[in-house]
Structure 1
Amino acid sequence: MSRPPLVISIQSQVVLGHVGNSAALFPMQAAGLEVAAIPTVVFSNTPDYPTLRGRALPADFFAELLLGAKERGLPERAAYIVSGYIGSPEVAELTAGFIAEAKRLNPGLTYLCDPVMGDAGPGLYVPGSIAEIHRDQLLPLADLATPNPFELSWLTGRDLRTLDDMRDARAALRLAEGARLITTGCALEDTPAGHIESVILSGPEVTRHPAPHLPIALPGTGDLYAGLLTAALARGRSLPDAVEMAQQLTGRALQRAAELGAGEVVLSDPALRKTLLQLENDSILPNP
């Protein structure tokens, strides 16, 4: 029996709630993927609570985890690497070095960079030095990038009102030539009323994927979306189909959170779990 696709997921981890790896691991594992989770920070909860315990991993400790992953041959085996929230410039530098080496060892590896840096409400919520490492070192390695509009605007210095603005931002972003940009949560001048959309720019090709705009903003939404997207892609869905599924299931998770009165995304919606379990059975590509 062949092993399922392996994903290395380098993100935050919390004790309570679902953000970072605590949001992204579930959809990938439910879809039957093997996931190696490497934390960048370990916190008691998200920063929205009155207290926050924990810290960013010390650089030497994080480097040991990366070394252990290399000693176990994970970069050579991985189908995907996903990176998300990073809590210190030192860890960001180490992450970039690890991914660059992994891509040299494994040319078939796909790297999804979710540059978790900020949003329209809070603004930039990581130090500028970390945002700059995303821009200058991590994104140039990416095969897929999933910034929100605030992040894309910060990274490129451009306002995003039209599709032409999106194209200009893609040209200004330091992505490799063949990389695909998926900007999530867009509200452009011609986005249908009451909707937001994901916009995929893949070379000259552009596809737009509107979804109802839910008046719910919760921590972990983008991390869950990235995990869902990776799960669908690793199970053989095309990028447009994977984006549609990620949007639909993220919306289900937000609605479930609203019904429960939760302050962050939840993963207990039965339809969400059923769809993820079905992904493995419906896998379009054979397991590597």
Structure 2
Amino acid sequence: MTLPPFVISIQSQVVFGHVGNSAALFPMQAAGLEMAAIPTVIFSNTPNYPTQRGRALPPEFFSDLLQGARERGLPGRADFILTGYIGSLDVALMVADFVAEAKAVNPGLTYLCDPVMGDTGPGLYVPEAIADVMRDRLLPMANIATPNPFELSWLAKRKVATTWDLETARQVLRFAPEAQLITTGCVLEDTAPGQIETVILGHEGIISRHPTKRLPIGLPGTGDLFAGLIIAGLARGVPLPRTVEIAQNLTSRALDHANALGAGEVVLSEPEFRRALVALDSKLSSVAAGKR
């Protein structure tokens, strides 16, 4: 019997709501992937509520969890590693060491780095030292990176307004030659009105642009859900451009459903959303990518 694709997901976790691992794990599991979730922080809820409890994992505790993952042989078994929000510098450095070790013992794994560090409006919401680790250590190891325009602009120290800006940022950030830069939520100078784009910039300057309707909704967990959907599609053998379209459509569906319910973050319970994820497991990706 063939084992299902295996993913190590290292990012935030909340008791209530859907952000970080609490947003990304469900779509990957629903698509039939096996998961190992390692939290970097544990909070009571997303930050859009009047109060928030919890904290970043103490470094020694986080280190112990990583050691347990090593003892179970998870780095050598993984098909994918996903990293997202990191809440302390010590943890960021340990994550970088762990990813480097995993890629050394398992050269065939795919590492997706989602540099969760800020957005237009709130600006940078991690200490600059953590953002520096993402730029200098994590992104150069990434096979795939999924920054939003604010994150890419901050990391590359230049504006992102054209596809040429994306190419320049890729060069500045020292991505591996074969890496895929997927910039999410782009509104470039030539983006059509009422649209928002995901732009894939591959090796040798190959660009793939994927516009979709711009929704008047911005909710916590959107990027985390999108990254999880990217891995779900790739793990099920869907080509990257098609995977991006699936991720866009399903993320939009989750946002629409949250808006209809008056929720303050993404909601993962909408029936067609769940059915589309199961369809990925059945390799019926055309269902997931269909019009809403």
What residue in structure 2 maps to residue 59 of structure 1? 59
Residue aligned with 1:184, SS: strand
Deviation at 1:95, TM superposition (A): 0.2
What residue in structure 2 maps to residue 243 of structure 1? 244
Deviation at 1:227, TM superposition (A): 0.4
Deviation at 1:174, TM superposition (A): 2.4
Residue aligned with 1:10, SS: strand
Verify: 1:107 aligned to 2:107, yes or no.
yes
- Any runs of at least 4 consecutive aligned residues in structure 1 with deviations exceeding 3 A, and if so which? none
Distance in 2 between the 1:266 and 1:101 partners? Answer: 35
What residue in structure 2 maps to residue 84 of structure 1? 84
Residue aligned with 1:262, SS: coil
Tell me the TM-score normalised to structure 1 length: 0.97
Distance in 2 between the 1:102 and 1:83 partners? Answer: 13
Distance in 2 between the 1:101 and 1:92 partners? Answer: 14
Deviation at 1:283, TM superposition (A): 7.1
What residue in structure 2 maps to residue 215 of structure 1? 216
Q: Which amino acid aligns with 1:258?
A: N
Distance in 2 between the 1:174 and 1:138 partners? Answer: 11
Q: Which amino acid aligns with 1:266?
A: V
What residue in structure 2 maps to residue 20 of structure 1? 20
Distance in 2 between the 1:136 and 1:17 partners? Answer: 31
Distance in 2 between the 1:73 and 1:90 partners? Answer: 23
Q: Which amino acid aligns with 1:167?
A: E
Deviation at 1:193, TM superposition (A): 0.9
Aligned 8 A contact 1:235 1:283 in 2: no
Residue aligned with 1:279, SS: helix
What residue in structure 2 maps to residue 34 of structure 1? 34
What residue in structure 1 maps to residue 289 of structure 2? none
Matches within 5 A, 1:270-281: 270-281=271-282
Distance in 2 between the 1:174 and 1:86 partners? Answer: 21
Aligned 8 A contact 1:83 1:112 in 2: yes
Structure 1: tracts of 5 or more residues without a match: none
What residue in structure 1 maps to residue 264 of structure 2? 263
What residue in structure 2 maps to residue 128 of structure 1? 128
What residue in structure 1 maps to residue 138 of structure 2? 138
Structure 2: tracts of 5 or more residues without a match: 286-292
Deviation at 1:167, TM superposition (A): 1.1
* CA RMSD of superposed structures (Å): 0.9
Q: Mean Cα displacement is larger for which, 243-252 or 159-168?
A: 159-168
Residue aligned with 1:208, SS: strand
Distance in 2 between the 1:19 and 1:178 partners? Answer: 29
What residue in structure 1 maps to residue 185 of structure 2? 185
Deviation at 1:133, TM superposition (A): 0.4
Distance in 2 between the 1:174 and 1:63 partners? Answer: 28
What residue in structure 1 maps to residue 10 of structure 2? 10
Residue aligned with 1:82, SS: strand
Deviation at 1:266, TM superposition (A): 0.5
Distance in 2 between the 1:126 and 1:48 partners? Answer: 16
* Matched residues, number: 284
Tell me the TM-score normalised to structure 2 length: 0.96
Q: Which amino acid aligns with 1:274?
A: R
Q: Which amino acid aligns with 1:40?
A: T
